[in-house]
Amino acid sequence: MYDADIISDLPLTLIGDYIDYAVERELEKASWDMWLRLLPEMIQNGVSFKEFKDSLIIQSNTSNGITNIKQSNKTKEEIIDEIEKVKRQYEKRR
């Protein structure tokens, strides 16, 4: 996806910015893909993509090269239960 030759030709001062940009794009794509998979729920609950993405990403401070991602305090079992609940709701609608 990212050409190593292009990166290696960049001045060192720009490599961090390039990586930050790439990380932001990856997070955007992952958020979009997740939102699309949950689209029926998102429509039902009136959640826009921006609201959904903002709930996933607390702060993106690219000027400092730091990206903070909201981390859940839920246990593995709670997460699995939540996913199973979403799957059951999705299956009901099919």
Q: What is the predicted pLDDT for the residue at 75?
A: 81
Tell me phi and psi for residue 76, to 5 degrees.
Answer: -60, -40
Asked if the model's pLDDT at residue 11 lies above 50, the reply is yes
In whole angstroms, how far apart are CA 82 and each of 1, 18, 62, 76, 85? 33, 36, 32, 10, 5
* pLDDT per position as a tens digit, 40-84: 888 888 989 988 888 776 544 444 455 555 566 778 788 788 888
Q: Quick one: 64 exposed, middle or buried, by C-beta within 10 A (0-12, 13-18, 19+)?
A: exposed
Give Cβ neighbours of residue 89 (< 8 Å, ≥ 6 apart): 41
Work out how many domains the chain is built from and give that number: 1
Q: Give me the pLDDT at residue 84, please.
A: 83
Write out the residue range of the structural domain in which residue 51 sits: 4-93
Q: Enter the pTM of the model.
A: 0.49
Task: For residues 14-24, give the mean pLDDT.
Answer: 81
Residues in CB range of 34: below 8 A, 6 or more apart? 52, 56
